[in-house]
Structure 1
Amino acid sequence: MAPFALPFITGFLLSAALIMAIGAQNLFVLRQGLRREHVGAIVLFCGAADALLITAGVAGMGAFLAAIPKLTALLALGGAAFLGWHGITALRRAATVSEAMVIADAAGVTLSRALAATAGFTLLNPHVYLDTVLLMGAAGSAQPAALRPLFVAGAATASLLWFTALGYGAGLLRPVFARPAAWRALDAFVGVVMLALAASLVVRAFSATA
């Protein structure tokens, strides 16, 4: 194996392992993929945001954030409020969805609202900074300076491939989600996960300031 290939593979595998965990961002991309709403724009936004955050982490932003626990706590509380609101909204959808609710529902969100929500799930989630910036930043910084761009490229590639597969691969589940019961189950799952994540962020915020 060529020496320059190892940093790329390391970044790719570490990014893939972190990003595939169930989280608010992944669930949002999945839901938009099922509805076929602005999938390309959302995938590009998520991939570009991860690339920028990984680059920032490797460049030293991760060490900066680690030195300011109060900032991490504020990010956690803001993220908890955002995820809590979306969790309650998802549970309300699960309770009120009717037989008229189908994937092709015309009452979709606009591109600007979809991107705003994507930005929220991406940038208001402290887990993004803890994993993408701090952990990826530490791993990338351990690479020789000349090889760090390859680590970033590998990590960014894994992120873009994952979101592309998640957003466009969701179409394979469209026959299942032609039934309102499937949407109710998905929204209930999304709501519970987001509220659980919000609770974990509140705990993290108070532990960071203790």
Structure 2
Amino acid sequence: MLSMYLQGLALGASLILPLGPQNAFVMNQGVKRQYHLMTASLCSLSDIALICGGIFGGSALLRQSPLLLMLITWAGVAFLLWYGWNALRIAFSGNVDLASNSELKQSRWRIIATLLAVTWLNPHVYIDTFVVLGSLGSQLPTQTARHWFAFGTVSASVIWFFGLALMAAWLSPRLRTVRAQRVINLLVGAVMWVIAGQLALQGIANF
């Protein structure tokens, strides 16, 4: 069963490490130290739900409902364009604000809502968890093997998100400058728009 765990861990890491909306958002919150551990927790819990859903039967639902995938795709495109625009607007503005403590308190629910949108409106998440992991998980010979495989992929997600949030928070004193925040917002905006473009092309191709 250790081999199943390590296989899940390696595959989970390979799927989660590329820079995407979730990673960019977690990194940004870590640098700002705006509820970065809460952000990592919500990302991990979302991944746990999606991974378990994909491995234990959810992949069939996505395969049988191309309309659902199309709706998720275009909702994701719209959200990523909006979020990327806000990040780029801040980056190119003359004054990049560094959040105060009062702003942190007011932004908690907005952070939660944005994070949930970044996660659940990203079709790549469903493809990774429902299609890739679901297909591999369904081929495993026993239920026990599936459990260990799922545990490995979940471990990769938890380790990565908390590691990214803590590392960004640790580097925060060096990165929480106006110049660094401008670069980070440029990076986040570019990532969001590139992925939105990729999703739009996929949506047009599948139309």
Q: Structure 1 length as normaliser, TM-score?
A: 0.91
1:36-69 deviation digits (Å, cap 9, x = unpaired) = 1112221111111111111111122112212322
- Equivalent in the alignment of 2:25: 28
State the Cα distance separating 1:110 from its structure 2 match. Answer: 2.6
- Equivalent in the alignment of 1:47: 44
Supply the RMSD in Å over aligned alpha carbons.
1.6
Match of 1:127 among 124, 137, 142: 124
State the Cα distance separating 1:78 from its structure 2 match. Answer: 0.5
1:113-166 deviation digits (Å, cap 9, x = unpaired) = 211111011100001001122111111112123211111111111100100001
Q: 2-side partners of 1:106 and 1:22: how far apart?
A: 30
Q: 1-side partners of 2:98 and 2:122: how far apart?
A: 29
- Equivalent in the alignment of 2:204: 206
Match of 1:154 among 149, 152, 155: 152
**Structure 2 counterpart of 1:196, which letter?**
V
State the Cα distance separating 1:97 from its structure 2 match. Answer: 5.2
- Equivalent in the alignment of 1:112: 109
- Equivalent in the alignment of 1:194: 192
Q: 2-side partners of 1:161 and 1:28: how far apart?
A: 16
**1:87–1:190: 8 Å Cα contact kept in structure 2?**
yes
**Residues 183-192 or 66-75, more deviating:** 66-75
- Equivalent in the alignment of 1:102: 98
Q: 2-side partners of 1:162 and 1:103: how far apart?
A: 25
**Residues 153-162 or 168-177, more deviating:** 168-177
**Structure 1 counterpart of 2:178, which letter?**
P
User: What aligned pairs does 1:59-98 form with structure 2 within 5 A after superposition?
Assistant: 59-96=56-93, 98=95
Q: 1-side partners of 2:194 and 2:138: how far apart?
A: 32
| Pair 7,105 (structure 1): closer, same or farther in 2 beyond 3 Å | same
Q: 1-side partners of 2:120 and 2:167: how far apart?
A: 24
**Structure 1 counterpart of 2:169, which letter?**
G
Q: Structure 2 length as normaliser, TM-score?
A: 0.93
Q: 2-side partners of 1:152 and 1:97: how far apart?
A: 47
**Residues 83-92 or 183-192, more deviating:** 183-192
